[in-house]
Amino acid sequence: MEKKVYLDYSATTPVKQEVFDAMLPYFMAEFGNPSSIYQIGIENKNAISEAREKVAKLIGAEDKEIFFTSGGTESDNWALCGAVRMLRKEGKNHIITTAIEHHAIHHTCEFLKEYEGCEYTYLPVDEKGRVNPEDLEAAITDKTAIVSIMLANNEIGTIQDIKALSDIAHAKGVLFHTDAVQAIGNVKIDVKAMGIDMLSMSAHKIYGPKGVGAFYLKKGIKLPNFIQGGGQEKGHRAGTENVAGIVGFGKAAELALENIDKHIAEVSSKRDYFEKSLLEKIPEIEVNGDTANRLPGNCNILFHYIEGEALLLFMDMKNIFVSTGSACSSSSGAASHVLRACGIPEELALSTIRFTVGDLTTREDLDYAIGEIVQIVEKLRAISPFNKNNKWQV
């Protein structure tokens, strides 16, 4: 079989065998509707409760604080829409977030501005992608309804000091949400100790299925219901539950928690080997992000004098799968808003590749990828229309 090397674990992850096995019965044998009050319905309801406990445990929450959704995007929408809809009557319609959030946050801000008259502020970040707590403090006004700052960035992997940031929001009486889609399973999370009021998660980043996620809502916070319909998820998020998906998410969360130390150690060691090898073998490349405090699998590299997209396509021809930015925006051709926010000029931001390694990445995969990348970079630089200043030659 042809060798295929997947180095895009931040885009999505393969479902683990144990997760798949746990899900399988819920497609056929255990097909009941969890709202039905006879046996095969109740069995499904119980399976959802078990999954809820497992997901809650992963972030140090109580199970009644977890609501299943269709994924990270929906959870992010719920946090922002819920907060401004709840607090609008108190004159609060302002959202504070950062310049490096996922589009699930940015596009929700833009939507709420256009259709619901909200305002938003994007906090700047430094060259490593870190938010300065003083900037947050200065941005909060008496109209601020919610602060939303991602726990870990999906492109450069930078991990924020969430406790310092949530403390500032709370000192001013403002709700604090974090998008932890990339962080769960990769960073130890305790929502209570970190002062988090709302948190977004997604199953497919932790070896679970796509199309299922969860929203943590601290008990006592009364957001308006997000999706109207039947009484599922205590009426907050109606719609017949994706039972197989939820069970898969529960299993993936259980495995992620059990293996978190091993996962962090092994994945960061593979990433370090890969990164060090590229830095040794290829001149004029740079690592983006906060190398002292980033996601274990993340390696975001700027290859001077090469267009990232060309590199990606040549790697694709060699069966090496990576991305130039987040999977959701990589087809846009525009420079990454995350790298631009870190102060990287547009032409350099376009010369960047995000590699992310994961549990199934082998040393052999990495050696194959390193060998091919060295050759591709040489080939592309030989024909590059960029000069040494990264400007087009005329």
> Taking the CA of residue 270 as centre, how many other CA atoms within 13 Å lie in the half-sphere pointing to its CB?
25
DSSP code string of 60-90: T--GGGEEEESSHHHHHHHHHHHHHHHHGGG
Which is nearer to ligand PLP, 153 or 232 (by Cβ)?
153
Q: Report the alpha-carbon angle 70-74-80, nearest 5.
A: 160
Q: Report, in Å, the least distance between residue 12 CB and ligand PLP.
A: 8
* Closer residue to ligand PLP, CB minimum distance, 104 or 339: 104
Task: Supply the minimum distance, in Å, between the C-beta of residue 136 and ligand PLP.
Answer: 19
Question: Which residues sit at the interface with ligand PLP, rule CB under 6 A?
Answer: 71-73, 76, 102, 104, 150, 154, 179, 181-182, 202, 213, 326-327
> Please, are residues 147 and 175 in contact by the beta-carbon 8 Å criterion?
yes
Please say which residue, 75 or 351, places its beta carbon nearer to ligand PLP.
Answer: 75
Pick 306 or 353: Cβ nearer ligand PLP = 353
Shortest distance, CB of residue 220 to ligand PLP, whole angstroms? 25
CB of 305 to ligand PLP, least distance (A): 29
Minimum distance from residue 14 beta carbon to ligand PLP (Å): 15
Distance CA 120, CA 95 (A): 5
Measured from the CB atom, is 73 or 160 closer to ligand PLP? 73
Strands 119-123 and 94-98: parallel
Q: Which two tokens stand for residue 104?
A: 């699930």
Enumerate the active-site residues.
328
Q: Is there a contact between 343 and 387 (Cβ–Cβ < 8 Å)?
A: no
CB proximity list for 336: less than 8 A, separation 6 or greater: 155, 324, 325, 326, 329, 349, 352
The encoded tokens of residue 231 equal 């009484």
CB of 35 to ligand PLP, least distance (A): 24
At residue 113's C-alpha, the angle toward residues 111 and 114, to 5°, is 65
The number of residues in the chain equals 394
Q: Which is nearer to ligand PLP, 12 or 33 (CB)?
A: 12
What is residue 119's three-state secondary structure? strand
Kindly provide the residue ranges of all beta strands, DSSP E only, lying in 72-164, ordered along the sequence: 94-98, 119-123, 144-148
CA angle (167 as vertex; 162, 173 as ends), nearest 5: 125
